[in-house]
Structure 1
Amino acid sequence: MTDISAPLTGMRFSKGHGTGNDFVLVADPDGDRNLSPEQIAALCDRRRGLGGDGLIRAVRSRHVPEGIELLESNPTAEWFMDYNNGDGSRSEMCGNGVRVFVHFLISEGLVALGAGEELTIGTRAGVKVVSRTDTGYRVDMGPWDFIYPEAREKGMDSLVDAVGLPVERPALSITMGNPHTVVALADLEALAGTKLTEAPIVTPVPPFGTNVEFAVPAQPLVTDDVGHISMRVHERGVGETLSCGTGACAAAAATRFWAGSDAPDVWAVTVPGGVVGVRFFPGPDGREHVELSGPAVIVADGVLA
């Protein structure tokens, strides 16, 4: 560990992932730990720390200002997912991280959740309802929308330049409570040839930055009423990750929009770390919601030396 993590000696942690999107997880029910961005970045460092795309702190909502606000209208949201990117920067939420967060709560004995049961949790992107399944978890990610309303008519709203692409590509910006910019590529060869070690340049970039997804539609796009796409992602504050749950939802939403009114509501999104499911359905608020489904795994528990 680096020197900046020395004050954390003795802190218990877990390591988990959802389709390869990996996290350091810390249980802090009473909100006693105030981890600095520098400490989080040190813990997530893959060479000198534990390694992770981000850090998730499990804290009761009443100990977090954003959680207190959510409890006013959602009193069952006892637990808050305090999420930071691997560089220490704060993020609204993480789709794969939500599943791993709930799995962590269960493994720590902080909640009990059987197959088919639901748990409401708080995030900086609002409350999320998580259901346990026989193979993992599914999450009502809430409504999706266009970051730029005019994109509904134009179909595109920005240009993306990335190493490995011969020219800038048109893109569509989607919000899932956090920002995404989706680029369609023609084939898997172009997807593999795009270099994501450097952050893609998005013009114009959304106000709080953006995650950038590169998506390739399958041929045929739809099989047995399920749409299929392959995706890679560069996450703001992290770099390329093996998976991104909100990014998979955004990529499916963009591809479905481009495909037109006959496009299906159910999608399988292949990412380097596996496959996640995405489903569009009418939400209780009258808006179209997105459900994300996939596995969650805890791979290790330990204590900082």
Structure 2
Amino acid sequence: MTDDTSPLTGLRFSKGHGTGNDFVLMADPDGARPLSTEQIARLCDRHRGLGGDGFIRAVRSRALPEGAAALAENPDAEWFMDYYNADGSLSEMCGNGVRVFIHFLLTQGLVALEDGGELSIGTRAGIKKVARTAAGYRVDMGPWDFIHPSHAAERGVDSVVEAAGLAEPRPALSITMGNPHTVVALEETADLAALDLAGTPAVIPVPPSGTNVEFVLPADPLVTDDVGHISMRVHERGVGETLSCGTGACAAAAATRFWAGAGAPDAWSVAVPGGVVGVRFFPGADGREHVELSGPAVMVAEGVLADGLLQQL
């Protein structure tokens, strides 16, 4: 039997995904059950654990130092999204994860949100405002920016990327969405299909905190009915290839829009292996250009960890 004094005894979990980007979630309102890096990695292990691209703990903002900062920014941000990559490393936030996080809070009865209603939540990348829609949720992801603004302005690229399946290194542009992304443009459908993202692509130079790498294929034509269309595969920092990445979709749309130049649309449809998400650029109240991400969120399971797994953890 598991020791009753274990902080994980009786741990309840849920499993959810947004366009195939999947997460293990738990509610810990008072911040009483923090998990170690090793425990999170085991929970997210697809062979010996529950499996997931990341781990999300729902904590009331007042129970965390980072949450206190969120409350200072917006007193309505009652809940904090405590997010970790599948290897247990801390991450700033996750765009698909935000939608799944809100859906988890709703299904657990921790918040109420009608269609068209909006909630503010705390993340390590600042406050995120989430609205409920008929098709899922839309999230104000905040402003985007270049990681190396001077290089972007001068050349439109700031690095090169090497990856298995690419015949040669490709130029890339690094975008921050509160977390780092490096975007590579491809020319042919075969180039996107030929990628082997089991290993980590080499980014030269790599941003200080590492980076997620998006490989983007523009549609032909790029714009239809004032909406830009791109397809994308992604290698997520600390995870590997995933079926979708919300902040990555925003970064990919931002880079493609920048490369397309004047007249590029503000609305984008981003096809990922797990489905399709929407990206929209709009003027924020802070005077900066913000990015909105929209898409579905699905809960697929909930339960209690078995004693055997608790002992392994």
After TM superposition, the score normalised by the length of structure 2 is: 0.95
1:49 and 2:27 correspond? no
Identity of aligned residues (%): 77
1:299: how far off? 0.2
Q: Please give the per-residue CA displacement for 1:221-268, whole angstroms capped at 9, x wherever unaligned.
A: 000000000000000000000000000000000000000011000000
Partner Cα distance (2:71, 2:14) in 1? 27
CA contact (8 A) 2:140 2:293 kept: yes
Residue 149 of structure 1: CA displacement? 1.2
Counterparts of 1:217-296 in structure 2, within 5 Å, are 217-296=218-297
Partner of 1:71: 71
Q: Which residue is equivalent to 2:189?
A: 188
Deviations 1:189-221 (A, max 9, x none): 100101100000000000000000000000000
Check the 8 A contact 2:83/2:92 in 1, yes or no: yes
Measure the CA separation in 1 of the matches of 2:240 and 2:38. 17
Alignment-derived partner of residue 22 in structure 2: 22
Letter in 1 for 2:108: E
Kindly indicate whether the alpha-carbon contact (under 8 Å) linking 1:14 and 1:26 is maintained by their aligned counterparts in 2.
yes
Number of residue-to-residue matches in the alignment = 300
Residues 60, 79 of structure 2: 8 Å contact kept: yes
Q: Is the 8 A contact 1:58 1:81 kept in 2?
A: yes
Residue of structure 2 in register with 1:131 after alignment: 131
Q: Letter of the aligned partner of 2:21 in structure 1?
A: N
Q: How far is 1:143 from its partner? A: 0.3
Cα distance in 1 between the residues matched to 2:130 and 2:205: 34
Letter aligned with residue 267 of structure 2: V
> Is the 1:146–1:152 contact (alpha carbons within 8 Å) kept by the matching residues of 2?
no
TM-score by length of 1: 0.97
Check conservation: 2:8, 2:33, Cα contact below 8 A: no
Match of 1:3 in 2: none
- Residue equivalent to 1:59: 59
User: Where in structure 1 are there 5+ consecutive unaligned residues?
Assistant: 1-5
Question: Alignment partner of 1:8: what SS?
Answer: coil
Q: CA deviation at 1:169?
A: 0.2
Amino acid at match of 1:51: G
1:88 and 2:88 are equivalent in the alignment:
yes
**Aligned match of 2:179:** 178
Q: Indicate the RMSD between aligned Cα atoms, in angstroms.
A: 0.8
Q: CA deviation at 1:168?
A: 0.3
Aligned to 1:215: 216
Determine the C-alpha separation between the residues in 1 that align with 2:154 and 2:99.
Answer: 34
Q: Aligned ranges for residues 87-106 of structure 1 at < 5 Å?
A: 87-106=87-106
**Cα offset, 1:116, TM superposition:** 0.1
- Cα offset for 1:37? 0.5
Q: Give 1:152's aligned residue.
A: 153
Distance 1:9 1:222 in 2: 53
Shift of 1:9: 4.0
